[in-house]
């Protein structure tokens, strides 16, 4: 039987990231960084060693990445997090160290629309089951995004094929799944607290089945997603033959659970759930954005279906 609890070192890492987020990534700080590269937070994560997790230099593996990303999801921390973990699995040591050190930003995706392209100096183009180091060929066109992050349209020229793509993308799926599970858990906490305190018809709204049952369903989905993320991370670290499919499954589960959490939080809080300054809107917006990050849920579904056919 696999123990789904983090071991002492992984729990200590999660606690360290949690306390760092409390000090440096408050809601006010995250809101102020909207629409730009979060340089102060990025440098802090690099100094903390988070960006180098899962590498030969940084130590740890997929479970350590999951432990850190859960906490970053709870804190709604922005940045090319999953792309960084994918890139450090693919790049040679010099570039890998530069990316993990925070000084070099990487854009990973399928052109022409590339995440974080306006601030990136390393580009990795993704194909169906392939990846290439690439460079820009055209002038970049900035694109506004749902998550408030700087993306861009640009043409790329492939320079060299990169190895280890399947595992790298699986690491990215684990990172996305863990982040979404953490962000969804935050919204569930907000919604349940509100349902406990908000009184209608002389009773807390959390006593009404229409509210309570929906939040209970969200809790079950998030719990299952968190367990699947940890199982897939364990499969990656142990070299399981099913690790890639398990990671894709975990990503899909976390996506569904986090989107349900966002919807339910909006419904529970009513108008307050849609205000920009409120406790739900910013997190829900990033959940929707992160859930679509390259290579996206469509590839995850293809990976899962391939095992079933």
Nearby residues of 139 by Cβ (< 8 Å), 6 or more positions away: 154
52 DSSP 8-state letter? G
Give CA–CA dist 52/97, Å, rounded: 8
- The answer, yes or no, to whether residue 2 has pLDDT greater than 80, is no
How much is the pLDDT for 309?
80
Q: Is the pLDDT of residue 53 over 90?
A: yes
What per-residue confidence (pLDDT) applies to 308? 84
Across 41-170, the runs of DSSP E, i.e. the strands, are: 106-109, 113-114, 122-126, 131-136, 141-143, 151-153, 156-161
- Residue range 239-277, pLDDT digits in tens: 999 999 999 999 999 999 999 999 999 999 998 888 878
pLDDT at 217 over 90: yes
**Rounded to whole angstroms, how far apart are CA atoms 53 and 64?**
7
Rounded to whole angstroms, the Cα distance separating 123 from 132 reads 8
Helix or strand run (H / E) with residue 203:
strand 203-204
Instruction: Give the pLDDT band (50/70/90) at residue 19.
Output: very high
Taking alpha carbons only, the member of 233, 107, 101, 82 closest to residue 172 is: 82
Phi, then psi, of 262 in degrees rounded to 5: -65, -45
CA pair distance 25, 21, nearest whole angstrom: 5
Q: Is the pLDDT of residue 300 over 90?
A: yes
Residue 146: its pLDDT value, please?
79
Q: Could you give the dihedral angle defined by the CA atoms of residues 220, 222, 226 and 228, in that order, rounded to the nearest 10 degrees?
A: 70
pLDDT at 108: 98
pLDDT over 80 at 50, yes or no? yes
Give the global pTM.
0.97
Six-digit token pair at 97?
A: 């160290």
pLDDT band at 3 (very low <50, low <70, confident <90, very high): confident
Q: Output the average pLDDT for the chain.
A: 95
Helices 296-308 & 243-269, crossing angle to 10 degrees?
130
CB 26 within 8 A of CB 77: no
Please give the DSSP secondary-structure letter assigned to residue 55.
Answer: B
> Domain 166-308: which CATH class?
mainly alpha
Q: What is the mean pLDDT of residues 207-216?
A: 94
């Amino acid at each position: 039987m696999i123990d789904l609890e983090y071991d002492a070192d992984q729990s200590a890492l999660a606690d360290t990231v949690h306390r760092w987020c409390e000090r440096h990534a408050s809601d006010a700080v995250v809101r102020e960084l909207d629409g730009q590269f979060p340089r102060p937070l990025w440098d802090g994560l690099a100094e903390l060693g988070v960006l180098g997790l899962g590498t030969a230099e940084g130590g740890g593996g997929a479970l350590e990445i999951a432990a850190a990303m859960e906490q970053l999801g709870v804190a709604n921390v922005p940045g090319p997090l999953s792309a960084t973990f994918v890139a450090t699995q693919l790049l040679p040591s010099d570039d890998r160290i530069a990316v993990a050190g925070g000084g070099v930003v990487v854009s990973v995706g399928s052109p022409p629309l590339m995440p974080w392209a306006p601030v990136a100096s390393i580009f990795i183009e993704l194909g169906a089951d392939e990846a290439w180091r690439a460079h820009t060929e055209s002038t970049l066109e900035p694109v506004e995004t749902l998550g408030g992050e700087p993306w861009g349209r640009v043409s790329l020229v492939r320079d060299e094929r990169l190895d280890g793509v399947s595992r790298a993308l699986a690491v990215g799926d684990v990172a996305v799944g863990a982040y979404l599970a953490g962000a969804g858990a935050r919204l569930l906490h907000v919604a349940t607290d509100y349902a406990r305190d908000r009184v209608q018809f002389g009773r807390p709204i959390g006593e009404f089945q229409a509210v309570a049952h929906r939040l209970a369903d969200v809790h079950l989905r998030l719990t299952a997603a968190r367990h699947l993320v940890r199982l897939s991370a364990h499969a990656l670290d142990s070299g399981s033959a099913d690790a890639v499919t398990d990671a894709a499954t975990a990503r899909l589960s976390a996506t569904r659970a986090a989107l349900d959490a966002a919807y339910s939080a909006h419904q529970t809080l009513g108008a307050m759930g849609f205000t920009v300054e409120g406790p739900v809107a910013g997190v829900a917006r990033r959940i929707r954005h992160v859930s679509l990050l390259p290579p996206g849920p469509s590839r995850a579904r293809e990976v899962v279906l391939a095992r079933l056919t």
